[in-house]
Amino acid sequence: MRHHVYLSPGMFGFGRLGSYNYFVHVERELRARFSAAGHELEAHVIEDLPTASVRRRSTRLAELIAQTSGGDLIHLVGHSTGGLDARLVASPATCSIPLASLGWLPRLRSVTTMNTPHFGTPLASFFATSNGQRMLAALSVLTVTGLAIGAQPLAAASVILGFMRGSDKVLPFKLRMLDRSVTSVVGLVDDARSPEVRAFLTAIEEDQGSMLQLSPESMDLVGAGFADRPGVVYQSTASMAPTPKPQRWLETFGHPWRAVSLALFFGLHRITATLDPRYPCAAMRDAAPWSGDANEAHLQRVLAASPPLQANDGVVPIRSQLWGRLVWAGIGDHLDVLGHYLDDRDPETVAPELRHRDWLTSGSNFTHASFTALIDAITTGMLDAAANS
Amino acid sequence: MSVVPPEAAVSPTEDPVPPEVRAVIELFGNQLAKISFPDVDAGSLRRQADELRAEAKAVAHARAALDAAVATFATRMEMLTETAARAVAYARIYGDGHPDRQALVTAIAALSEPRPAMVTSAPAGKRRGRPPRQSAELFDATASAPAYQDPA
C-alpha cells in the first residue's frame, strides 16, 4: 500500500536549506518502518516559513497535498507550530482554505502532532515583542548553523544569552551586538548556502505572524474553533526537559559551548515556564490539568508523576502538547524529538547525513533508544489508522 | 510396621513407572517381600523404579529448559528478522541517496526481503539416525512445545 506523509516544521524549523533536510531523521526512520512493514511511503517536507501565519501555512500545505498525493493514503505530521497547520487543514470547521485544495481529505488517515503548542506557549508572547523578534531570528540562525553544518558558534550564543539576561538599560547596545552576532554566524555558512540562510532570516524577521497566534491568549480562542475530523486518528508526542539544577552546570565543566548552550536553553525554559492562571496552556477539567484517563495514565507511567503546568520542553509547556491519543511521552527537549540530539558515536564511523546533531544542551539525555521508541509509536499509530479505515 | 512405598508421593498420572510395573513392585513389596530371585527382589525393583523417577525429573527439567530456550530462540529470531527487514529498508534508503556507489546499489538490490522463519524445537540442526524411544507420559508435552507463529 502506498502512503504519503507531509512533514510540517515549526518554531526554529526550516524545512530544507540547501541539501539539509530538517526532518531528515524522522523521514528516514518512518520510511524504514513503513518499508519493513511492506508499505511504501513517500515523504514531503513543507518548505514554508516556520514563523508565518498558521492559516497561510495550512493553505500552502493543502495545496501541496492536492498536487502531490495522487490517490494514495495521507498522513500529516507536524512538529511544533506545524501540528497546528495539520489540525487546521484537517478541521471540518476550516473555511479559510479553498475547497479545490481539499479534495484529498477523504484519504486523510492520521494527524500526528509532535510537541505542538495546542494551548499556546508563553515563549510566543515573548517572541512577539519587538526585541523578542530579533531574539527569535538569532536563535533560528543558531539552529540552522548548528543542525545544518554542525557549527557551535560560542561567541554568538554568548551574546544571545547576554541579551536574555540583565537590565534593559544597555538594551540598544545589546541589540547591536545581537545583530552583529547573527551576521557573524551566517558568515559560518559556506558560500553556496549563505544566500539561502540570509533569505530565510530576512523572511523570519519580516513575517512572524504565528508568534502572535501561538500566544496562550490567542490559542484560547483557536481551541474553541478547531474541530477534529471524524474518522481521522489524532495522535501526539509530548516531552519535557529537566528543570535547571546546579548539577547540570557541573556536567558542563570543561565544555564552554555546552555551558553557554545550557544557559541559553534554561533561559528559554524559564520563559516558557511562566504561568498565567487565566491562560494555563493546558486542557483543564475543573481546576486541575486533564488530558483524559489514558493520557494521564501514560504521563504518570513514563514521567513517574503527573507533570505540572510549568513543565516544558524549552519551547512549549508539556501540557500544551497533548492532543488526541498520546502515543509517546518522555524527557526530551523541543528538537530532540526530531532526532536532533547529542550523537555520541564516533563521527568517523557514521556517514555525515546519518549523524545526529544537538540543538542546544538541555541536559535531557535523550538517546537513540528514546528516538526509536518515539518513531515506533508514531508509525504504529499511522499504520493502524490506515488498516482500520 | 507399615511400609510407605516411595512412589506414594508421586501422583499416578505423573509417575513414569508404568502401572503394570507398579503392580509387580507392590506384589514384591507385600506378599513376596521375603522372597528373593536371582537379581530380582523387592529392593532391586524399588531401586530401579527410583532411578527411573530421578531420570524422569532430569528429563522434565531439561524439557523445561528446552522449552524456555525455544521460546527465547523464537523471540530472538523474530527480533532479528524485524531488525534485518529494517536494515534492508535503511540500506535501500541509503542506496537511493548514493546512486554513484553502483556496487553498493547492486548489492542492496540483490538482497531478499527477510521473512519470519518457522522455529522448531531443534534449532541447532538436523538430528541424524532413528529418533529415540520416548515414554508417552513423559513426552506428551512435545506436541505443545511453542512453535513460532507468523505475526502476519
Domain range list for chain A: 2-124+210-387, 129-207
Q: Which residues of A fall within a CB distance of 8 Å from B82? A: 36
pLDDT per residue as tens digits for the range A172-230: 555 565 566 656 655 555 555 566 667 776 776 676 677 778 889 888 887 767 889 99
Where b means 16+ CB within 10 Å and e means fewer, A156-194 reads bbbbbbbbbeeeeeeeeebeebbeebbeebbebbeeebe
Q: Which residue of A has its CA nearest to B92?
A: A32
- Has residue A157 got a pLDDT over 80? no
3-class secondary structure, A136? helix
Q: What percent of chain A has pLDDT over 70?
A: 79
Q: Which residues of A fall within a CB distance of 8 Å from B85? A: 35-36
The larger pLDDT score, comparing residue A84 to residue A252, is at A84
- Has residue A139 got a pLDDT over 90? no
Nearest beta carbon to residue B89 from set A35, A351, A354: A35
Name every residue whose Cβ is closer than 8 Å to that of residue A319 and which is 6 or more positions away in sequence. A119, A280, A281, A282, A283, A289, A291, A307, A309, A311
User: How many angstroms separate the CA atoms of A363 and A318, rounded?
Assistant: 17
Question: CA-based diameter of chain A, in Å?
Answer: 62
Least confident window among A7-21, A296-310, A315-329, B4-18: B4-18
The larger pLDDT score, comparing residue B29 to residue A151, is at B29
Mean residue pLDDT across chain A: 84
Q: How many CB atoms lie within 10 A of CB A98?
A: 11
Mean residue pLDDT across chain B: 78
Question: Per-residue confidence at A109, pLDDT binned at 50, 70, 90?
Answer: very high
- Has residue B123 got a pLDDT over 60? no
Q: Sign of torsion, CA B95 B96 B98 B104?
A: positive
Residue with cell 508563553: A122
> Could you tell me how far CA B144 lies from the centroid of its own chain?
10
User: How many angstroms separate the CA atoms of A155 and A185, rounded?
Assistant: 9
3-class secondary structure, A148? helix
Sequence-ordered alpha helix ranges (H) in B36-135: 42-97, 102-110
The Cα of B114 is separated from the nearest Cα of chain A by a number of Å equal to 9
For the residues A15-30, what does the mean pLDDT come to? 81
- Has residue A50 got a pLDDT over 90? no
Residue with cell 510537541: A115
- Has residue B27 got a pLDDT over 60? yes
This complex has an ipTM of 0.70
Domain A2-124+210-387, classified CATH 3.30.70.870, yes or no: no
Q: Which residues of B fall within a CB distance of 8 Å from A33? A: 86, 89
Phi, psi of A238 (to 5 degrees): -145, 140
**Among A240, A261, A212, A214, which Cα is nearest to A314's?**
A240
pLDDT of residue A318: 97
For the residues B49-77, what does the mean pLDDT come to? 96
Question: Per-residue confidence at B1, pLDDT binned at 50, 70, 90?
Answer: very low
Spell out where chain A has E strands: 2-8, 16-17, 20-21, 40-45, 73-79, 108-114, 233-240, 284-285, 288-289, 325-331
> Can you give the length of chain B in residues?
152
- Has residue B134 got a pLDDT over 50? no
3-class secondary structure, A382? helix
Q: Which residues of A fall within a CB distance of 8 Å from B88? A: 35-36
**Quick check: A33 contacting B, CB < 8 Å?**
yes
pTM of the shown model: 0.77
The Cα of A351 is separated from the nearest Cα of chain B by a number of Å equal to 10
**Quick check: A35 contacting B, CB < 8 Å?**
yes
